[in-house]
Structure 1
């Protein structure tokens, strides 16, 4: 890990019930890429997507079971790769385009019709996600983003704006099983429903279709412990995003369930198998 948030402390506490736990701060400790197998399993929790993926890869090279795998973290963390994986698995997603220039972004907006959502390929907590109601606004957003020094941030996802009443559904899947779902409703004056932006959360009962989509979305990215964000529309559900290093404070507050306990038990089953 790099920063010990509430989630990391809870996970560490649960794992310590059955295993010897060693916290590794990857900002300060070098990880060998051809090292001995010094652990049975590694729970990978850096905040940075690349830091998490590289950490997982180093453990995988030594034959350590990782949660999640480097493949899952990279695929889920890069929205272009995530949407491609979801679409390949025949899962319903919002109409989306990858656009790597201002001109490509505008062409995508014209094809979709306005308003559209514009977001970077890499990012979390709703950062740099914009809603463009016109060609001019889209061009402005894409042009500003084109100056960003980070390539994955310059790359844009241009996506249809799905009217959901400023809420979405977040489900948590652990080892192929749905743990539960919540709704996240954007605070007043905000259209993005991220808990980090102040969204309100409530428990949400999953119907069989929602459960199926969440589990299949987790499988599409090879996820052992992931959260799935979905939209509920008049025509059914759409899978919007997958999170490979999921936070769950809001989920716990809404449901009373502790994902850390379920992850710990699932990892124990995997290691003892």
Structure 2
């Protein structure tokens, strides 16, 4: 098999995937999305690969290059449909709700005034998130109407109109941790707890949060697999919250990092990815 990896930087995960491919006799071709140009109206470009793995950090570039590749007849993991849903928190929420999965209370507002009314219905504290974004950027906790109004008014000054679409959620008291569950195909390959750091309520390993291996229960496995299926994900990082004794779906990441997860669980996640691609190409 010849695997094409679309990227815009070679991070730890990409290095691991390349090494796993070598061990499993898979040839790898690298495609830096920053340097790609393609004739959309011409004949199919012969890239000489059997399947593409989309690992571009840039959501928009990865999304549109995947669209072009699929239009040419190439198989891309994850697909354009998956990226389109997972890259937008509102689309993800709708897909998960339609699948009957439990979610935090979530409201959408299209103006600052409407957002304040929505927050009254959700209650404080609440959380505001950008529709598109990762690593906890532009995510803020709204403790009361005064702080909410200040943050909303700041968002109104941002240039991109998407920041003026307000995605608001209840704050789930999650005991200073959440769960990251890694799905490859129909298998949950690993899971970990991610703890908050002092002075920050976000539990994200990329900002320094402590991690700990998590036993995969039947409930965790069922929710993660259903979430991946609902979002058309073949490879996914599914985030769960523990709220008052019940598990809630938070997000589904279509291009998940796994350095911290591999370290804490000792699972060869890169090898699992290569095995899946070989078996399903």
Q: Helix, strand or coil: the match of 1:144?
A: helix
Q: Distance in 1 between matches of 2:156 and 2:206?
A: 26
Residue aligning to 1:10: 16
Q: Helix, strand or coil: the match of 1:187?
A: coil
The Cα offsets for residues 137-194 of structure 1, whole Å up to 9 and x where unpaired, read as 1111111112222233332211000001121000000012111210000111111001
Residue aligning to 1:142: 152
Superposed counterparts of 1:16-35, under 5 Å: 16=22, 17-33=24-40, 35=44
CA drift of 1:37 comes to: 4.9
Over the residues paired in the alignment, what is the CA RMSD in angstroms?
1.3
Residue aligning to 1:52: 62
Residue aligning to 2:3: none
Q: Distance in 2 between matches of 1:58 and 1:21?
A: 20
Q: Distance in 2 between matches of 1:46 and 1:253?
A: 22
Q: Kindly indicate whether the alpha-carbon contact (under 8 Å) linking 1:217 and 1:242 is maintained by their aligned counterparts in 2.
A: yes
Q: Given the superposition, is the C-alpha separation of residues 123 and 175 from structure 1 closer, same or farther in structure 2, using an over 3 Å criterion?
A: same
Superposed counterparts of 1:147-166, under 5 Å: 147-166=157-176
Q: Kindly indicate whether the alpha-carbon contact (under 8 Å) linking 1:37 and 1:64 is maintained by their aligned counterparts in 2.
A: no
Residue aligning to 1:36: 45
TM-score, normalization: structure 1? 0.95
Q: Distance in 2 between matches of 1:153 and 1:12?
A: 37
Q: 4+ runs of 1 displaced by more than 3 Å?
A: 31-34
Instruction: Structure 2: state its 5+ residue gaps.
Output: 1-6
Q: Kindly indicate whether the alpha-carbon contact (under 8 Å) linking 2:130 and 2:167 is maintained by their aligned counterparts in 1.
A: yes
Q: Distance in 2 between matches of 1:153 and 1:247?
A: 25
More displaced 10-residue stretch of structure 1: 238-247 or 47-56: 47-56
Residue aligning to 2:191: 181
More displaced 10-residue stretch of structure 1: 198-207 or 96-105: 96-105
The Cα offsets for residues 54-97 of structure 1, whole Å up to 9 and x where unpaired, read as 12112111211111001111211110111011011111110001
Match of 2:229 among 197, 206, 219: 219
Q: Distance in 2 between matches of 1:181 and 1:19?
A: 27
CA drift of 1:136 comes to: 1.6
CA drift of 1:14 comes to: 1.9
Q: Distance in 2 between matches of 1:231 and 1:215?
A: 16
Q: Kindly indicate whether the alpha-carbon contact (under 8 Å) linking 1:105 and 1:138 is maintained by their aligned counterparts in 2.
A: no
TM-score, normalization: structure 2? 0.93
